[in-house]
Amino acid sequence: MTFFELSTWDGKLFSEGWRAATESAPVREPATGAEIGRYGVASAADVATAAASAAKAQREWERVPADEKSRILRLAGDLFTERASVMQDWLMREAGSGEGKAEYESGLVASEFYFAAATAQMPYGQILRSGKPRLSMARRTPVGTVGVISPFNFPGILTARSVAPALALGNAVLLKPDPRTSVSGGLVFAAILEEAGLPDGLFHVLPGGAEVGSALVEEPTVRVISFTGSTQAGRIVGERAGRLLKRAHLELGGNNAIVVLDDVEVEAAASAGAWGSFLHQGQICMTTGRHLVHERVYDEYVELLAAKAKGIPTGNPLDGAPLGPIIDGNQLSKIDGIVQDSISAGAVLAAGGTHRDLFYDATVLADVAPDHRAFAEEIFGPVAPVTKFSTIDELIDLATATEYGLSLGILSSNAYRALELSERIPSGIVHINDQTVDDEAVAPFGGVGASGTGARFGGHEANIEAFTETQWVTVQADIAKYPF
């Protein structure tokens, strides 16, 4: 029996195998509101039980040879590749992902497991120089158990990029997916890793709300917390982890700018801007949240961007609609509140601003000022606020008028001019002549300021730093002699 049979996981969580929870909750399809299954809701007691199991299993896993760890993770990557259509279907149904986004995400999940298989084989230490006649070295050791809290928007990749390298480096993992995407962000990973032969007790999926998240952070055996979510929630997680002397890797929000300089090909710039703002209904931490456009091309850019927005239909992704539903009513209300407040404050509605059910039309707001909510806040919806600038100094003021610093795009016919400009705008990620949304397993990912605690996802170095401890070891032939 496999995961793809509903009876495998319906009403269950994954902790030392599939087991019924004392409580279950519906898996909802936001496009229709239909219940498409039920997941088991974990409790704080489940977290404690899972942590004890994980700690025991981790001691065995740590001693498993690296090539065996790699084999299991490569097989998981193969299984994600083979089952890509099923993963994509769940992303479209449960997360409201468009078909293209779902295809991209499922492919990237597989890439994360392939890359983690290579991470398991990486050198794990250094030989150090010493002033004494001895061998001196620094080696990396697993932290033990890693707690992962992942969000709803890219539930597959934002789970995989912590789970896969943590396992590769010898750790056990307790995963709490967002309750709204407990399948595509959690239970599917349990099924794939179980089929790949991951030892029992090493990986646990514990869906639930704030109670489960708090228990995970507070659990003494969990030494590292990998959290992806809002800045508000991240501050709480970071504060609690710090009090307990735990490391917290926080990938938080963004209010990312795309800069359109005066020498661009405007049609291409508007296409990039539309993709950056409207992909997955704007529910991405890297979404293009502010379009800063030079006055020379401003009117044409707004006109073209608005035309593109008006041409993007909303609807059920399973019916081929490129713009799917907002994840839930609370998020839709927040989006619409920001849009309407900004219009009342003087922004001009160039496209959209309307919705039916959970489908919010692609929206363009022109003449957005720094004191408008659409400029100052992370919207997390399909909204493109456009602001005009005249000089480079004015642009720098606008681009840096935010507490966030995740992703930045600069569009110009002179790439080196854009690169020089990027040095004046703090950001964890910079894309020259591209929009703000991108990710690769090999690339360091993370933000500065209120966007998180710096790049620590992607690439061998970042992953090793995130999920291991450094241990200094010296070895000498004879016992050292001392004066007493």
Distances (CA, A) of 373 to 93, 379, 387: 31, 9, 13
Topology of the domain comprising 6-252+452-473? Aldehyde Dehydrogenase; Chain A, domain 1 (3.40.605)
pLDDT at position 7: 73
Q: Which two tokens stand for residue 94?
A: 């449960």
For 316-357, how does the pLDDT look when each residue is reduced to its tens digit (9 = 90+)?
A: 999 999 999 999 999 999 999 999 999 999 999 999 999 999
Q: Which of 251, 267, 377, 378 is catalytic?
A: 251
**Which of 159, 139, 141, 149 lies closest to 241 in space, CA to CA?**
149
Q: How confident is the model at residue 5 (pLDDT cuts 50, 70, 90)?
A: low
Highest mean pLDDT among 2-6, 290-294, 476-480: 290-294
- Distance CA(476)–CA(117), nearest Å, equals 34
- Catalytic residue list contains 99: no
Averaged over 222-236, what is the pLDDT? 96
3-state SS class at 122: coil
Average pLDDT over residues 290-319: 98
355 contacts 361 by C-beta, under 8 angstroms: yes
C-alpha triplet 423, 427, 428: angle, nearest 5° = 120
Q: What's residue 8's pLDDT?
A: 81
Cα distances (angstroms) measured from residue 402 to each of 174, 191, 254, 396: 34, 41, 9, 11
Q: What tokens were used for 409?
A: 């795009």
5 is catalytic: no
Overall average pLDDT of the 377-390 stretch: 98
End-to-end CA distance of the chain: 67
Distance CA 139, CA 440 (A): 27
Look at the chain and count its residues. Answer: 484
**Euclidean distance between CA atoms 363 and 375, whole angstroms:** 14
Same fold, 6-252+452-473 and 256-432: no
Share of the chain above pLDDT 70, in %: 99
What CATH number belongs to 256-432? Answer: 3.40.309.10
The tokens describing 278, both together, are 């409207």
pLDDT at 2 over 50: no
CA distance 197 to 71: 10
**Beta strand pairing status for 125-128 and 135-142?**
antiparallel
Structural domain spans, the chain: 6-252+452-473, 256-432
Residue 96 confidence (pLDDT) above 50: yes
Report the distance separating Cα 324 and Cα 344, nearest Å.
27
What integer pLDDT is reported at residue 224 of this predicted model?
A: 97
The reported pTM is 0.95
Six-digit token string for 357: 């059910």
Measured distance CA(223)–CA(234) in Å, rounded: 17
CA of residue 40 relative to chain centroid, distance: 23
Does residue 232 register a pLDDT over 90? yes
pLDDT score of 456: 74
Q: Which two tokens stand for residue 362?
A: 């692609």
Q: What pLDDT score does 1 carry?
A: 34
pLDDT one-digit tens code per residue, 171-190: 999 999 999 999 999 999 99
Per DSSP, the three-state class of 146 is strand
Q: Which residues 6+ apart lie within 8 Å of 31 measured at CB? A: 93, 96, 315, 316, 317, 318, 324, 325, 358
Cα separation, 231 vs 452, in Å, equals 8
For residue 4, is pLDDT > 70? no
Neighbours of 201 (CB within 10 A): 20
Cβ atoms of 295 and 323 closer than 8 Å: no
The answer to whether 177 touches 161, Cβ cutoff 8 Å, is: no
In tens, the pLDDT along 440-475 reads: 999 999 999 999 987 678 889 999 999 999 999 999
Average pLDDT over all residues of the chain: 96
Side-by-side strand order, sheet with 12-14: 18-20, 12-14, 203-205, 172-176, 145-149, 222-228, 247-251
Going by C-alpha positions, the residue among 395, 394, 403 that lies closest to residue 426 is 403
CA angle 232, 236, 237 (to 5 degrees): 115
CB 30 within 8 A of CB 90: no
| pLDDT single digits (tens) 143-171 | 999 999 999 999 999 999 999 999 999 99
Compute the distance between CA of residue 286 and CA of residue 83 in angstroms, rounded to an integer: 27
Look at residue 458 in the predicted model and tell me its pLDDT. Answer: 87
Measured CA distances, 30 to 85, 152, 154, 360 (Å): 19, 12, 15, 12
Query: Distance between CA atoms of 330 and 442, rounded to whole angstroms?
Result: 35
Ramachandran assignment for 454, one of left (phi > 0), alpha (psi -120 to 50 degrees), beta (any other):
left
Q: In this structure, are residues 173 and 32 in contact, taking their beta carbons and an 8 Å threshold?
A: no
Q: Which amino acid is at 299?
A: D
For 85-234, strand residue ranges (E) read 125-128, 135-142, 145-149, 172-176, 203-205, 222-228
φ and ψ at 34, to 5 degrees? -75, 150
Residue 281: per-residue pLDDT: 97
pLDDT tens-digit map of 13-26: 999 999 999 999 99
**Rounded alpha-carbon distances, angstroms, from residue 400 to 36, 80, 370, 417, 429:** 44, 40, 11, 18, 14
Of 29, 285, 377, 378, the catalytic one is: 285
Cβ–Cβ under 8 Å, residues 187 and 9: yes
Nearest to 457 by CA among 61, 160, 174, 216: 160
303: tokens are: 């006109």
Rounded-to-integer distance, Cα 315 and Cα 190, Å: 30
